[in-house]
A and B are shown apart, each in its own frame.
Chain A
Amino acid sequence: MNMTEQELLEELGRLPRERQPQADLWPGVEARIRPMQARSFRRIPTAIAAAIVGSLVTAFGLSINERMETTAPAFVQTLPATGAGMTYASGVDLEYSGALRDLAGQMQSWQRAGQDGSVLMSNLRVLSEASEELRAAIAEDPQSIYLAQLLASTQKKQLSVMRELLMQRDSVSSYDTDQRRT
């Protein structure tokens, strides 16, 4: 008896939609995706950096050169060499962190005196958090010149905001002094 086309289609529709393989295929899949997994982890710092760039440009109009530099700038070459070798990122951090520490010390005394520069302080907090995130990203990808440049720009802006805060402190202090004289 000849099967009709309709009967054939009904039988085809009843075929099982799933079929388990006889072998366990996952180990083979896992072995092949593991190297790709490691590469995608290395991309995470760049994704973080991109998010930071976006927020900083929006918040501060920060001008950052996003081109990937292939050679380290001259100041790195003048830094004393360490046993492990100085990366561009650690050189950047060294240049700015001393200045940042000095200003941070002055600001703390100002804050203890009860002065307020809430907008600038808020900006400073954002920049400080961004620096920490960048340092974490650099820890994962220490050879990244792009991340190091981003850190440099962020720290420059931090210094600038701190100086502005301290100028504000100085102008408030001299105003208070003038007021007491009159």
Chain B
Amino acid sequence: MSAVVRKLDMPKSNSPEGADDEWRLVEAARNGDARAFESLYQQQLGRVHALCWRLCGGNRSLAEEMTQDAFVRAWQKLPLFRGDSAFGTWLHRLTVNVVLGDRRTRLRRVSREQSLEETLPGQLGGVREEHGLSMDLEQAISRLPERARTVLVLHDIEGYLHSEVAEMADMAVGTSKAQLHRARRLIREWMSHEHD
């Protein structure tokens, strides 16, 4: 049984007042209020960028580009947000679709099937300043092959089910499970060697 707590449905603010405030901002933004949308942006930026950063394998410029794309897409799609879930949940899934959609259509790709020696120095610079196991773990995640990394990030970190991952990543459920198994095995191997 996975120890990962499904975090997707936890709202930014657990209070009813927080949810009301968020809804007021959403309504205002839907009516064209850019200041209200900026408030939503500030509230959600960290989550959205973390997701983009990990899905993009630690590529800072690509992660920032995807983060901007996600918020622009959210502005466009806001009229379609019905409030069935928290705004953050809706935005999170939209972000995944933006990143994976961009990956499918992108002409220029940064290959993540590289060996560690080929990794560009700047890409993981921020991670190197952190301490302890989390630094090694973030590096290991960024080293994963693209599909394995996608599944690990979405399933084990972000809490999506395999059926959801498969739908978003355009793969079969069985493939999602196989990629997750591969990702976990690779990370465990790398982490074990790191501490030998």
Contacts and interface: CB of A to CB of B under 8 A. Distances in A.
B192 interface: yes
Nearest to B155: A12
Interface stretch (A33-41, A105-113, A174-182): A33-41
A83 interface: no
Interface residues of B, number: 39
B46 A25 contact: no
Given A17-B47, A32-B72, A2 B4 contact: no
B75 A36 contact: yes
Query: Interface residues of B: mostly helix, strand, loop or mixed?
Result: helix
B187 A29 contact: no
A14 interface: yes
A30 interface: yes
A30 B37 CA distance: 9
B25 to A, nearest CB: 15
A11 B5 contact: no
Interface stretch (B16-24, B60-68, B94-102): B60-68
Interface string B175-196: 0000000001001100110010
Sorting the interface of chain A by its residue count into under 10, 10 to 19, 20 to 34 or 35 or more gives 20 to 34
B188 A19 contact: no
B32 A25 contact: no
B120 to A, nearest CB: 16
Interface string B13-47: 00000000000000000001010011001000111
Interface string A4-34: 1110111111111111111101101110111
Contacts of B76: 36
Interface stretch (B107-115, B131-139, B142-150, B161-169): B131-139
Given A25-B67, A29-B68, A36-B76, A17 B187 contact: no
B46 A20 contact: yes
B12 to A, nearest CB: 10
A37 B32 contact: yes
B134 A15 contact: yes
B64 A25 contact: yes
Contacts of A32: 68, 72
Contact of B49 (A12, A13, A14, A20): A20
Nearest to B3: A9
A2 B138 CA distance: 18
Given A18-B50, A21-B67, A25-B68, A13 B188 contact: no
22 contacts: A2-B192, A8-B184, A9-B3, A9-B156, A11-B133, A11-B134, A11-B137, A12-B4, A12-B152, A16-B50, A17-B47, A18-B46, A18-B49, A19-B49, A20-B46, A20-B49, A21-B45, A21-B60, A22-B60, A25-B67, A25-B68, A32-B72
Interface of B: 2-5, 7, 32, 34, 37-38, 41, 45-47, 49-50, 53, 60, 63-64, 67-68, 71-72, 75-76, 126, 133-134, 137-138, 152, 156-157, 184, 187-188, 191-192, 195
Interface of A: 1-6, 8-23, 25-26, 28-30, 32-34, 36-37, 40-41
